[in-house]
Amino acid sequence: MKKGGFITIVAVLVFVFLMFPLVIIACTAFNTAPTISFPIQGFTLDWFKNVFATESFIDGFKLSFTLAIVATLLALLVGVPAAYALSRFSIKGKKFLKNYFLSPTIIPGIVLGYALYQFIVLTLKMGVIEGLLIGHFMVVLPYIIRVVGSSLEQFDFSIEEMAWTLGCPKIKAFFKVVLPNISSGIVASFMLAFINSFNNIPISMFLSGPGVRTLPTALMNYIEYFYDPTVSAISVLLMIGTILIMVLVEKTLGIGALTK
């Protein structure tokens, strides 16, 4: 009993430590004072209105959202077959390939961003949107390969072979038998990839062009000039969005799917 009590206290302290900054930010979003400060002086929803009135935020959100969706879908198209091949076949240099695919998560984002800037913007002179898409695709691909790969590790491939023996051609068997059994991994990898793309700053900083900003870069840019609670208001909106997604995941797959 006593031991359990101690653990509970520690857990509560850690929880408070993690939640405290978020709660403060959330409070400041409703502050009447023109700068981010705490405790708050009065209650207002003006900053939320300001969010929707600021064009760079709306455009930034639209761009970030579209970018995250498209980059993640592309990464799924490439990553799922790659993960399948990596766990299904004994390929020469499998270990190297696995590490290679994961390298973008290990290399600092700023290095990758600079490298992409050098290559995509300066050498290939690509458009801003294409550049951003390639950059984000590269950032999210490892998450797809890793998460889908780990759910394929759990998958018993004799199930797939069984489908063949029952008369199912190989490609069809992949869709009928393999895919349904790794669907939670695919959804989980989609969420992780989406969140990583949506939050990404270093890649977007290097690859953004005039007038084209993702939401995080638009936020950074805004803070440089205005230190008002609009930023807090956006944070609150994003938190609500995240909570909604998490509830949805929990309802459909169970939150465990994300940590598997």
Partner 1 sequence: MAEVRLENITVSYDGKNNVLEGLNLKVNEGELLALLGPSGCGKTTTLRVIAGFIDPKDGHMYCDDRDFTRIPVHKRNFGLVFQSYALFPHLNVYENVAFGLKLRKMDKVTIEKKVTEILKVCDLTEFKDRLPKNLSGGQRQRVALARALVIEPELLLLDEPLSNLDAKLRLNMRVEIKRIQKKLGITTVFVTHDQEECFSISDKVAVMNGGVIEQFGTPEEIYTRPKTEFVARFIGFENFIKLHKVDGVLECADGTKISVDDSGDKDECLLTIRPDDIKIVADDYKGENVLCGEVVVRTYLGKSYQYETMTPFGKVVVNDASGTLYNTGDKIRMVLDKAKIVLV
Q: Which residues bind partner 1 (CB under 8 A)?
A: 156, 158-159, 161-170, 173, 177, 180-181
Are residues 228 and 34 in contact, defined by beta-carbon separation less than 8 angstroms? yes
Q: Tell the smallest beta-carbon distance from residue 187 to partner 1 (Å).
A: 14
Rank residues 66 and 154 by Cβ distance to partner 1 and give the closer one: 154
Instruction: Between 29 and 173, name the residue whose CB sits nearer to partner 1.
Output: 173
Q: How far is the CB of 179 from partner 1 (least distance, A)?
A: 10
With both helix axes pointing from N to C terminus, report the angle between 109-116 and 128-153 in degrees, rounded to the nearest 10: 130
In whole angstroms, how close is the CB of 186 to partner 1 at the nearest point? 13
CB atoms within 10 A of CB 259: 6
Phi, psi of 228, rounded to the nearest 5 degrees: -110, 165
Q: CB-wise, 156 or 224, nearer to partner 1? A: 156
Residues in the chain: 260
Rounded distance between C-alpha atoms, residue 38 and residue 47, angstroms? 15
Q: Which of 142, 136, 139 is nearest to 63 (CA)?
A: 136
Nearest to 141, CA basis, from 120, 119, 112:
112
The least distance separating partner 1 from the CB of residue 170, rounded to whole angstroms, comes to: 7
Distance of closest approach, residue 158 Cβ to partner 1, in angstroms: 4
Name which of 165 and 259 has its Cβ closer to partner 1. 165
Q: Which CB atom, from 158 or from 259, has the smaller least distance to partner 1?
A: 158
